[in-house]
C-alpha cells in the first residue's frame, strides 16, 4: 500500500545542511494502523509529510497504492493527494468558518455538487459524533471536538490513507483515548490505512498493528507492536518503554532488590520474568506447570494490560527447588508458548 524506498531528506546546502531522513525504507500494508514513534528531531514529522509530498524528498521514492508519487507532475500529484487525508496536532481549522464549512472545504475545492457535498458533510459529522455542532465555530469547541472536525474533514474526500501528525499530543489523556477509539473504529469500518506518528508509546500500544522506531533519520527497530512492545531490542525503544511504564519498572526493581535478599545461595533458586500474550494471559499455565515439576514459586510482581485489545501479562517470579526441576519448569513454560527470561 505504502512503500518508501531509500527516502532521504536534506535541508540546506553545503556545511549548513541538515539531514532529517537518511536512506529510509518502509513498507505499510493496506488496512493496517502503522505507528511511527521517535523523540523530537528524530525525523518523524518529515517522514509523514514526505508520504503525501508536502515535503519533497531529496532522494528516494514514495509509492502509494502502486503509484510513484515522486514521479508525478503537479496536476497528477494533486489528484493523488485527494486519496490521502491528513490530520494535524493543532487541528489547522479555518477559524472564521463553521464546523460544516470546515468539513466541506476539500469538497468545495473540487467543485462537488451542493447536494452531494451536503450528504457527505452530514455523514462525516455523524461519524465523528458532531452532527449537532455543524453551525458552531472552532472557538466554541473543545480540543477533542476540534480534532474530530479535523478527522471529518480529512475523510470527506474518501481517502485510502489517513496520515496522523501527532494527532493526540495536544489533548488530555481521556480525550486522547476517545480520539484513538474513533480512529480504530474508522479503520475497522472503512479498512482505511492509517499512519500515525507520536512520541507516546501508549498511543502505539492502544491502536497500532505495526510500529517503527525512528532515530536520527533512520528506522532502528520495527515489527508487530506485540513483539516490539514485549521484547524491545534497541536502546531507544527501551527508553520509550521506560518512560511509559515507570511505575511498573519501579515495582520490578523493588522485586529484584527483595529477591537479592531471599535468593538461596546453593543455586536452587532462580528469578525469572514470564510474559503471556493473548488468551494465555488468563490461563493457569504457571500453576499447572509447577504442580507437574514439583517446583515452589513466589510471585514478586505482576501486571496485566492490553495491546490493541489483545491481553498480555508479565510476572516476576522466584522459583525454588532442585536446579534440574527449575530448568524443566522454564522449558515447560517456553514449550507452551510463554516467553521466559532468567533475571538472576
Dump pLDDT digits (tens) for 46-59.
Answer: 999 999 999 999 99
Same fold, 2-231 and 246-342: no
What would the pLDDT profile of 14-39 be if each residue is shown by its tens digit?
Answer: 888 899 999 999 999 999 999 999 99
pLDDT above 80: residue 8: yes
Quick: pLDDT tens for 252-305: 455 455 555 455 445 588 999 999 888 888 899 999 999 999 999 999 988 888
Predicted pLDDT of residue 268:
83
Using one digit for the tens of pLDDT, what is the confidence trace for 209-233? 999 999 999 999 999 998 888 788 8
Q: Tell me how far apart the alpha carbons of residues 46 and 249 are, in angstroms, rounded to a whole number.
A: 32
**Grid cell digits, residue 43:** 525525523
Domain spans in the chain, listed from the N-terminal domain onward = 2-231, 246-342
Q: State phi, psi for 258 to the nearest 5 degrees.
A: -65, -40
The per-residue pLDDT for range 88-136, each reduced to its tens digit, is 988 999 999 999 999 999 999 999 999 999 999 999 999 999 999 999 9
pLDDT at 249: 46
Across residues 61-75, what is the average pLDDT?
95
Q: To the nearest whole number, what is the mean pLDDT of the chain? A: 90
Q: 2 pairs with which residues across the strands?
A: 28, 64
Region 222-251 average pLDDT:
74
Q: What is the pLDDT of residue 258?
A: 52
**Per-residue pLDDT, 266:** 52
pLDDT at 201 over 50: yes
Task: Name the grid cell of 85.
Answer: 487525508
- pLDDT over 60 (residue 198): yes
Give the model's pLDDT for residue 267. 56
Q: Beta strands 269-277 and 67-68: pairing type?
A: unpaired
Between the two ends of the chain, the Cα-to-Cα distance in Å is: 45
Query: What architecture does CATH give domain 246-342?
Result: 2-Layer Sandwich (3.30)
Q: Residue 278's pLDDT is what?
A: 86
Whole-number pLDDT of residue 231 = 80
Percentage of residues of the chain with pLDDT beyond 70: 92
CA distance readout (Å), 184 to 9, 179, 188, 204, 254:
31, 9, 6, 12, 36
Supply the pLDDT for residue 332. Answer: 95
Q: Are strands 18-28 and 2-11 parallel, antiparallel or unpaired?
A: antiparallel
In whole angstroms, what is the distance from residue 227 CA to residue 211 CA? 10
Q: Mean pLDDT, to the nearest integer, of 321-335?
A: 94
CATH architecture of 2-231: 3-Layer(aba) Sandwich (3.40)
Extract the C-alpha cell encoding 257: 532488590
Lowest-confidence segment of 79-88, 172-181, 254-263 by average pLDDT: 254-263
Amino acid at each position: 500500500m505504502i512503500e518508501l524506498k531509500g527516502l532521504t531528506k536534506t535541508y540546506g546546502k553545503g556545511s549548513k545542511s541538515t539531514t532529517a531522513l537518511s536512506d529510509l525504507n518502509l513498507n505499510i500494508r493496506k488496512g493496517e494502523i502503522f505507528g511511527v514513534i521517535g523523540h523530537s528531531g528524530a525525523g518523524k514529522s518529515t517522514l509523514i509529510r514526505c508520504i503525501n509530498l508536502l515535503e519533497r524528498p531529496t532522494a528516494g521514492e514514495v509509492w502509494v497504492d502502486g503509484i510513484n508519487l515522486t514521479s508525478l507532475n503537479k496536476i497528477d500529484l494533486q489528484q493523488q493527494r485527494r486519496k490521502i487525508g491528513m490530520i494535524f496536532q493543532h487541528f489547522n481549522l479555518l477559524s472564521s468558518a463553521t464546523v460544516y464549512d470546515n468539513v466541506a472545504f476539500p469538497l468545495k475545492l473540487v467543485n462537488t455538487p451542493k447536494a452531494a457535498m451536503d450528504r457527505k458533510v452530514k455523514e462525516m459529522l455523524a461519524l465523528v459524533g458532531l452532527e449537532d455542532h455543524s453551525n458552531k465555530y472552532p472557538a466554541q469547541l473543545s480540543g477533542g471536538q476540534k480534532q474530530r472536525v479535523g478527522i471529518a474533514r480529512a475523510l470527506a474526500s474518501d481517502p485510502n490513507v489517513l496520515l496522523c501528525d501527532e494527532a493526540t499530543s495536544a489533548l488530555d489523556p481521556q480525550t486522547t483515548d476517545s480520539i484513538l477509539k474513533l480512529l480504530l473504529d474508522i479503520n475497522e469500518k472503512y479498512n482505511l490505512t492509517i499512519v500515525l506518528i507520536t512520541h507516546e508509546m501508549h498511543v502505539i500500544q492502544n491502536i497500532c498493528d505495526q510500529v517503527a522506531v525512528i532515530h536520527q533519520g533512520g528506522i532502528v527497530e520495527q515489527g508487530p507492536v506485540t513483539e516490539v512492545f514485549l521484547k524491545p531490542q534497541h536502546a531507544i525503544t527501551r527508553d520509550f518503554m521506560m518512560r511509559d511504564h515507570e511505575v511498573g519498572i519501579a515495582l520490578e526493581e523493588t522485586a529484584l532488590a527483595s529477591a537479592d535478599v531471599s535468593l538461596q545461595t546453593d543455586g536452587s533458586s532462580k528469578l525469572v520474568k514470564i510474559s503471556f500474550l493473548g488468551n494465555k494471559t488468563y490461563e493457569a499455565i504457571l500453576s499447572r506447570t509447577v504442580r507437574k515439576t514439583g517446583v515452589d514459586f513466589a510471585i514478586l510482581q505482576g501486571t496485566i494490560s492490553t495491546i490493541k485489545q489483545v491481553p498480555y501479562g508479565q510476572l516476576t517470579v522466584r522459583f525454588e527447588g532442585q536446579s534440574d526441576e527449575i530448568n524443566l519448569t522454564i522449558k515447560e513454560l517456553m514449550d507452551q508458548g510463554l516467553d521466559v527470561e532468567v533475571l538472576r
